[in-house]
Structure 1
Amino acid sequence: MNKSERIPYVLIAPSAIFLVLLFVWPLAETAILAFKGADGGFTMRHVNKMFGDNNFSTALKNTMILVAIIVPVQICISLAMAMMLQKMEKGRMTYLYIWTIPLGVSDLAAGIAWLAIFTDRGYFNTLLQGVGLVDGPVTWLSYQNPMALFICVIIAEIWRATSIVLVILVSGVQLIPKEYAEAAEVFGASPWKRFWHVTLPLLKPSLQSALILRTVLAFEVFAVVYALAGRDLPVLVGEAYNWQGAYQNTNVASAYALFILAISIAATLVYLVALRTKRETLA
């Protein structure tokens, strides 16, 4: 192999080393811990213990509900915001900057900020009392009020992470040639038909990327839930954290991590199949 043939491998080597050290190696260690017995041999005891955990089914159900609600809502909001930005002639970058401010806020900081809003003496109760809608503080963040607790977590998570989807979709919209929409308009297509039959199909690759990234991150939701609900709203990552931190059982925590990885991969495969795009070929 001559020098010119080695250049691509040299250029990709740092990324490959980074990937091996910070992903492949920890993943292998996690898999070993999840299936390693006390005698060093293979065992399913830790996985069975995870499935037999009292909070497992509740955590799985809560995580799935959060994903099923948060991801579609964020996609719809981001699509609407991206279309609004596309129509703006002035101030587009200002609005985009304001809408993406949550990107600079960590998960835990966002959870604490929304805790200050929804707590008993928080801003939301103060507002409701100020306009006379409630007589006293309402406990929104309590296991005794599970629906309100769930809604508070959903609102906080939508505010925190919608900007991630927005950035991807705005980039995708900007790559769509304006000639397609202009041609559809010439032939009498309404704005809705132009969006549904022109913009949305051409935006499919960006939607695929946004859905994969956001769904994977939604399965890993933890800090916002922990800040607002503590252990009153079990989620999968929260249970992994408890088994590692509170129970000092790294093996079961690793089993939870592998389970989260498995459902994330399954969701990714579904998106790859459902939103696959045909490759363009030259005649």
Structure 2
Amino acid sequence: MTRARTSLLPYLLLAPSLLFLAALFLVPLLQTIGLSLTENGELSPANYQRMVGDLNFVPSLRNTFVLVLVVVPAQVVFALAMATMLQKLRLGRDIVLWIWTIPLGVSDLAAGLVWLAILQDRGYLNSALMALGVIDGPTPWLTYETPVALFFSVVAAEVWRATAIVLVILVAGLQLIPREYAEAAEVFGARPWTIFRRITLPLLRPSLQTALILRTVLAFEVFAVVYAIGGRNFPVLVGEAFVWQTDNQNTGVAAAYAMLVVVISLASTVFYLRALRTPPEQQP
């Protein structure tokens, strides 16, 4: 009897979390699937057909993927560099980490409004450039006529806002790597880049996998930052779901957009789980 209770204990401890996830994730997910597949109470692919036929569907799909392909690698590179720098610090390490993680306390919408204040026609950037004599008057950066500037404005805002998430995960992963490995490699004459490439990165793979999954899923769901900076000038998938729900009052098509984001997020998760699978010898 005691052995049976012991074997059931992990499941009993997980039960509240599973019930919580079922109530706040599984049930809404099933409802969204139902909304996307029905019209007038009957099963129909009409919502997906309207979604694919939407004028902004292709631009929003393209913008979302390009944004993810640019933002996520940039954040990983910056976070790796920052985490490695933190490992080298002896004094003030906690203060530097605290400063770098301040954007975590800023909401998506607030971050978008901050960058809007910097980049709009009468924003701080144009004011500084005019004061330096670089430009003669306000230069628009966030209009449909300047798609490249608008895109990189969104990239800059997202990198500033969310790199700290990746940084925290990688800092925790670096702390789990025994220092003896790097010290032994130094004894045998390995250079810092070789140690980083041959020792640190392979042992950091589980943390990289977690960071990439989390950040990629959140990047596919980007909305508030984009909406604050570019509005409808830079359509993304979640933004189109919002428009169909609020402006067009069409819950079915909004649900279809939502399900597309879910499918893409799940596919990216499976990709990372396979591509960054931890070898058995490195598993605890």
TM-score (norm 2): 0.96
Check conservation: 2:203, 2:282, Cα contact below 8 A: no
Structure 2 residue aligned with 1:168: 169
Rounded Cα–Cα distance in structure 2 between residues aligned with 1:55 and 1:9: 46
Instruction: Provide the residue aligned with 1:8 in structure 2.
Output: 10
1:97-136 alignment runs, 5 A limit: 97-136=98-137
Q: 1:204 to 1:8 in 2, by over 3 A?
A: closer
Counting only pairs closer than 5 Å after superposition, residues 1-283 of structure 1 correspond to structure 2 as 4-5=5-6, 6-38=8-40, 40-280=41-281
Given the superposition, is the C-alpha separation of residues 136 and 281 from structure 1 closer, same or farther in structure 2, using an over 3 Å criterion?
closer
1:159 CA drift (Å): 0.3
Q: Which runs of 5+ in 2 are unaligned?
A: none
Partner AA of 2:281 in structure 1 = E
How high is the sequence identity, in percent, across the aligned residues? 59
Q: Distance in 1 between the 2:267 and 2:134 partners?
A: 45
Gaps of 5+ in 1: none
* Pair 138,281 (structure 1): closer, same or farther in 2 beyond 3 Å: closer
Letter in 2 for 1:16: L
Measured after TM superposition, the shift of residue 257 of structure 1 is: 0.5
Aligned-pair RMSD on alpha carbons?
1.4
| Pair 234,79 (structure 1): closer, same or farther in 2 beyond 3 Å | same
Q: What displacement does 1:273 show?
A: 1.0
TM-score by length of 1: 0.96
**CA distance in 2 between partners of 1:230 and 1:169 (Å):** 33
What SS does the corresponding residue of 2:277 show, helix, strand or coil? coil
Aligned partner of 2:55: which letter?
N
- Measured in 2, the distance between the counterparts of 1:216 and 1:21 equals 21
